[in-house]
Amino acid sequence: MSRKRVAVLISGRGSNMAALIEAAKDKTYPAEIVLVISNRPDAGGLLVARANGIATEVVDHTAYGKDRTAFERALQVVLERYRIDIVCLAGFMRLLTPDFVRQWQHRILNIHPALLPAFKGLDTHRRALEAGVKVHGATVHFVVPEMDSGPTIAQAAVSVRHGEMEEKLAARVLDVEHQIYPLALKLLAEGRLRVENGRCLIDGSPVPDTASLIPVP
C-alpha cells in the first residue's frame, strides 16, 4: 500500500512536527511527511524540516490582511501542488474557515495540549493548574469548524504534581504529545478510523493503551 502524503502546518518551533518526521522515517510507517508549511517565515520548525530534507513552504497570512479565504486559497494551491492526502496541524496558530475545514473533512488533524473537551483555547497548562485538576494531558482530534472540537482520536494523560510550575507541566505534556500524534496519524493513514455520531471509532487490533504513557510521578 502506498504511503499517505502528509503536510504538517506549523507556526512555531515545530516539536510535534519533528516527532511526526521521526516516526515517518520508518519505511513501514504508513505516512510520509512530504511538506511543512508555516504561516510565519521565522518559524523555527522550518529549519528543522529543511535539516531533515523535507520541502518547506511559507504562506504568510499577513500578506492577505483580513482575507482568510484568500489565505486559505493560497494554502490549498500549495497542498494540491504536493498532492497532499492528510493535513496535520501542529502548533498552527490560525483559525481555519468552515469551508476549508469541510474540504479536508476527516483528513485534517490537530493536537491540543489538554484533555478535551476540557481547556479549549490558549494557556491550557496555566488554566489546568488554576483549576486544580489532578490529571492533565493532550488530545489528537479531527478538525471541525468549531475550534478545539471534533472527534477525539487519541489522548494521553499526565498526573499533575503538587506545586508543579506551568513550564514543567507543559514539558511533561509535550512529551506525551510527541507520542500520541504519530500514533493518531498512523491510525488515520492505515484507514482504521471511522467517525460515527461525532465519535471516532478505531478498527482492527487494539491500539496501545495511552494511559500507559503516564509518566510515573
Residues tagged active-site: 112
Minimum CB distance to ligand GRF, residue 10 (Å): 6
Among 30, 113, 151, 182, binds ligand GRF (CB under 6 A): 113
Q: How far apart are CA 184 and CA 207, in angstroms?
A: 10
C-beta of 4 vs 112, nearer to ligand GRF:
112
Q: Which stretch binds ligand GRF (CB under 6 A): 32-40, 50-58, 73-81, 106-114?
A: 106-114
Chosen residue from 16, 39, 152, 210 binding ligand GRF by CB under 6 A? 16
**Per-position b or e across 28-48, b if 16+ CB within 10 A of its CB:** ebbbbbbbbbbbbeebebbeb
Query: In whole angstroms, what is the distance from residue 142 CA to residue 129 CA?
Result: 26
Q: Which stretch binds ligand GRF (CB under 6 A): 77-85, 107-115, 189-197, 202-210?
A: 107-115
- Is residue 14 a contact residue for ligand GRF (CB under 6 A)? yes
Closer to ligand GRF by Cβ: residue 174 or 195: 174
- 135 and 164 in contact (C-beta within 8 Å)? no
CB of 171 to ligand GRF, least distance (A): 10
Q: Is 15 in the site for ligand GRF (CB under 6 A)?
A: yes
Measured CA to CA, the distance from residue 75 to residue 60 in angstroms comes to 10
Pick between residue 15 and residue 210 the one whose CB is nearest to ligand GRF. 15
Output 47 or 77, the one with its CB closest to ligand GRF. 47
Binding residues for ligand GRF restricted to 156-185, rule: CB under 6 A: 174, 177
Instruction: Tally DSSP H helices, then E strands, for the chain.
Output: 6, 9
CA–CA distances in Å: residue 56 to residues 59, 71, 96, 131, 202? 10, 17, 20, 39, 32
Is the separation of the CB atoms in 9 and 92 below 8 Å? Answer: yes
Site residues (vs ligand GRF, CB under 6 A): 10, 12-17, 90-91, 111-113, 174, 177
